Amino acid sequence: MDKILVSQVTEKDVEAYEAQIWKPEDIAHYGREVSWEEWKPDFFIFKAENNGKTVGVIGGHTIAGVLFIERIVVSPSERGKGIGKLLMEKAEEHARLIGAHKIFLNTGKGWEANEFYKFLGYKKTGELTKHYLKVDFVVYSKFL
């Protein structure tokens, strides 16, 4: 076997190679050619305000029809007032507007947020053992 060299490069360096190689793979896996634009992340962020003061934030991105909620946080003094629900509803509205078919997110296993996501109709679809900072996480999904 020839000596293979593996080196770090930029996206631009491999663009033509990937375009050529992925085309038949996309057809085999998805039944059609997939545009590179479908794999480009589209980021979003919304905030909730009360009397001009930020009380909550939700953000994430969409790729290939799937919206991923990367973060959601509500001020501790404002929790239990429906702000998190309003933020999640806004993210779901955004997902529908851009044609996403699914939303997913993850949270720490055993964290109180688990009950919140279940209440909103999200289903547990996976577990991530020793994930971020070696803490167990749970994956939740919801089809739109």
Distance (Å, rounded) from C-alpha 44 to C-alpha 66?
13
pLDDT at 103: 98
Phi and psi angles of residue 126, each rounded to the nearest 5 degrees, phi first? 180, 170
Residue closest to 48 by CA, chosen among 20, 105, 1, 90:
90
Q: Would you say how long the chain is, in residues? A: 144
Residue 25 vs residues 29, 46, 93: alpha-carbon distances, Å: 6, 36, 32
Task: With beta carbons less than 8 A apart as the criterion, state whether 98 and 63 touch.
Answer: no
Amino acid in position 140: Y
What does the alpha-carbon distance between residue 7 and residue 38 come to, in Å, rounded to a whole number?
27
Query: What architecture is domain 38-143?
Result: 3-Layer(aba) Sandwich (3.40)
Q: How far apart are CA 105 and CA 116, in angstroms?
A: 12
Per-residue pLDDT of the chain (144 residues; tens, 9 = 90+): 799 999 999 989 998 898 889 889 999 999 998 888 888 899 999 999 999 999 999 999 999 999 999 999 999 999 999 999 999 999 999 999 999 999 999 999 999 999 999 999 999 999 999 999 999 999 999 999
Give me the pLDDT at residue 142, please: 98
Taking the model in full, what pTM does it have? Answer: 0.87
The rounded radius of gyration (Å) of the Cα atoms in the chain is: 19
